[in-house]
Amino acid sequence: MMTQVYFDNAATTAIRPEVLDRMIEVMRNVPGNPSSTHAVGRKAKTIIEQARKTIAGYLHVTPAEIVFTSGGTEADNLIINSAVRDLGVRHIITSPIEHHAVIHVVEHLQLAYNIEVSMVKIKECGSVDMDNLEALLVEKKEKTLISLMHINNEIGNMLDIEAVSKLAKTHDALFHSDMVQSVGHFDLNLTEIPVDFIAAAAHKFHGPKGVGFAFLRKNSKVKSLIFGGGQERGSRAGTEPVHNIAGMETALIKAQENLNTERKHIEKIKWYFKEQLENNIPGVNFNGNCHDGTLSTYTLLNVCLPVPPNKALMLLFQLDLKGIACSKGSACQSGSDQGSHVLNAFLSKDKLDKPSIRFSFSHENTQEEVDYVVSTLKEFIA
């Protein structure tokens, strides 16, 4: 039987058994529409509100500040669209290494509302240039939204979110951060971090696909992107998927309960993988700060391999044939032949000519899987 190794957890994670059990329980026993006023509907509504309370508790915010969405993309769209349409934002500062859920909506708003967009400079290591960010804030006097992700989904670089929050507050700017790669993997206290908006997705922390949430700071006056009923206190129309929301709650509970234990395990896998690559593949490099335990997330490595361009085209195909699931970048753009927009933003041409692969890990991965992947890569390169 062919070995199967799943090293693409930054794209999506396997659903936990406890999450699946909870979802089946809700689907089987709670058929009501949460907007209905009868007992069956009220039971569904109670499940939703308990989930909202649980999620808010882990983030140290109020339940009223959590709005359920279909995932991170919708949450990003809700926040950025409303900032321009409803909150008077005329200037957006973002970066060329953001997820396309941010970049593409900003491009749309630039055309539709004639807003000004500034791209903050990216350093050679793939991190945001904080001096340039401050200069952009000083230079522009219009109402500004900063939109910068907490953890980059391709290279793992971590934004100094506290420093950006302070800059935003100093210059009276709004701050939105895509935290899709953060929630469920780190302890986040949004009372201490004065970020105005965040986006999260359940399937990044072993929950179901098709559900996520936006955090909207109290009194932010964000208005719905989707029109219909008055669900989510008017912030997001549409009948709530009770089973998905309950599954997301369970996934976050389990992620937080096991956070320290699972983090230690995943860190061990990551550093063992890095060590084995360096020992077995001369000339291997690591993109961004993913090789640094303090400047990047513990969940991924973005590896630049010493393979000539003509052979690089076959690398992912060969890994797939060997049962290894990984990614050349974000799964959301894997059909593109333009390469990674993240790596294109800061890598030199000689590095861009070599194949870069994102390997991302979970608590389910093992050192034996690492050995198999390294052996496969070594064989391919030889």
Model confidence pLDDT, tens digit, residues 243-299: 999 999 999 999 999 999 999 999 999 999 999 999 999 999 999 999 999 999 999
- Alpha helix segments (H runs only) across 86-198: 100-113, 130-139, 161-170
**Assessment of whether the complete model's pTM goes beyond 0.75:** yes
pLDDT at 69: 98
Give pLDDT, residue 310: 82
Task: State the pLDDT at residue 324.
Answer: 97
In contact, 101 and 149? CB cutoff 8 Å: no
In this prediction, residue 331 carries a pLDDT of 42
Q: Based on the number of CB atoms within 10 Å of its own CB, is 55 exposed (0-12), middle (13-18) or buried (19 or more)?
A: buried
Per-residue pLDDT reduced to its tens digit, 104-162: 999 999 999 999 999 999 999 999 999 999 999 999 889 999 999 999 999 999 999 99
Burial of 247 (0-12, 13-18, 19+ CB in 10 A): buried
Structure tokens at 313: 């085209």
Indicate the burial class of 317 (C-beta count within 10 angstroms; 0-12, 13-18, 19 or more): exposed
Instruction: Report, as an integer, the average pLDDT of 230-250.
Output: 96
User: Residue 326 catalytic?
Assistant: no
The single residue listed with the structure tokens 């934004």 is 159
CA 288 to chain centroid: 17
Q: Are 288 and 296 in contact (CB under 8 A)?
A: yes
8 Å CB contact between 320 and 6: no
pLDDT of 335: 45
Q: Does residue 154 contact residue 122 with C-beta atoms inside 8 Å?
A: no
DSSP state of 144: E
How many C-alpha atoms does 6 have within 13 Å on its Cβ side? 10
Q: Where are the beta strands (DSSP E) in the chain?
A: 5-6, 66-69, 91-94, 116-119, 144-147, 174-178, 197-201, 212-216, 285-286, 300-304, 324-325, 356-360
Question: Minimal CA–CA distance to 214: which of 309, 77, 28?
Answer: 77
Residues 6+ apart with CB under 8 A from 205: 13, 183, 184, 185, 251, 252, 255
Domains and CATH numbers, the chain: 5-14+259-381 (3.90.1150.10), 17-257 (3.40.640.10)
Q: Please report which confidence band the pLDDT of residue 3 belongs to, taking 50, 70 and 90 as the band edges.
A: confident
Distance CA(240)–CA(244), nearest Å, equals 9
* Least trusted range by pLDDT, from 126-140, 196-210, 288-302, 331-345: 331-345
User: Please, which pLDDT band fits residue 2 given cuts at 50, 70 and 90?
Assistant: low
The DSSP result for 198-227, as a single string, is EEEEGGGTT--TT-EEEEE-TT-----SS-
State the DSSP code for 51.
H
Residue 329 pLDDT class (50, 70, 90 cuts): low
DSSP 38-79: SHHHHHHHHHHHHHHHHHHHHHTS-GGGEEEESSHHHHHHHH
Cβ neighbors of 334 (< 8 A, separation 6 or more) are 327, 328
pLDDT band at 333 (very low <50, low <70, confident <90, very high): very low
